[in-house]
A = this chain, B = another copy of it.
Amino acid sequence: MNNIIDGVTASLELKKNIKKEIEKDGLTPSLAVIMVGDNKASKIYVRNKKKACEMVGINFTEINLPETISEELIINEIRRLNEDDLVNGILVQLPLPSGFDEGKIINEISPLKDVDGLTYQNVGNLVLENECLVSCTPMGVMELLKMYNVPLKGKDVCIVGRSNLVGKPLIQLLLQQDATVSICHSKSVNIKDYTKRADVLIVAAGHPNLITKDMVKDGVVVIDVGINKENDSLCGDVDFKEVSKKASLITPVPGGVGPMTVASLLKNVVKAYRVQNR
């Protein structure tokens, strides 16, 4: 039985569709990424985003700023990009070096160009079910569930992790699909009580092997958002080897949610382009 959710193939399909859409409708979307300092992991992520943009026909600009720059100058750069009609999406690569106020900087991005869906305006409109740009990883998770026809209406969905980037937006997206949602986190006492009952378990906690096979029921759908480094290799938050024996569907790490995040970013850039040009 093949119960592996193939995020690589799914994301390729998404990208193909985006590329087709851009060509067919003659769109000229563009993304600007601001990178402060030279965090090694961030550099790899930015390179992946660049490659993906080029693959589908999104114009990509990278703005590299030194770690020693002032908050004010970063904000000036964002304001310049907000004003630039040729830039449709703006993304500040996180994490910023320590000392910067990420929330303050992010909220300088025009909500119409906030393709990471992190400004308070987009976060609020997501809750209120208004048109908005949604954070890319949760979007990717929802896209995978849809592509694999996982029913959500009335289903028990457990989210482990309550970050602004993943857990909190997922609450809203899952409620919109009429799931019954529970949210566990580092202060939860009885995580297993919740995970064990879940029809769909989404884990975004950042702890390797947090979810073991005794914590899930047979037939569960497992989405592992964690990316952890162990002995020079990547792993998620789920004990994949054992949990995959019980799951009806499960994402691997790498090759699960990760590629979908980038594909969702592309989708957001095109959406932002359309909203700005209608």
Contact = CB atoms under 8 A, between A and B. Distances in A.
Contacts of A103: 128, 130
Contacts of A182: 180-183, 194
Interface string A103-128: 10000000000000001111111011
A178 B175 CA distance: 20
A25 interface: no
Interface stretch (A184-192, A216-224, A245-253, A254-262): A184-192
Contacts of A125: 120, 124
The number of times this chain is found in the oligomer is 2
A171 interface: yes
A103 B125 CA distance: 10
Contacts of A19: none
Contacts of A123: 123-124, 127-128
A207 interface: no
Contacts of A190: 156, 180
A189 B172 CA distance: 18
A164 interface: yes
A193 interface: yes
Interface of A: 103, 119-125, 127-128, 130, 153-156, 162, 164, 168, 171-172, 175, 178, 180-185, 187-191, 193-194, 197
Rank and list the top 3 A-B pairs by shortest CB-CB distance, nearest first: A124-B124, A120-B124, A182-B182
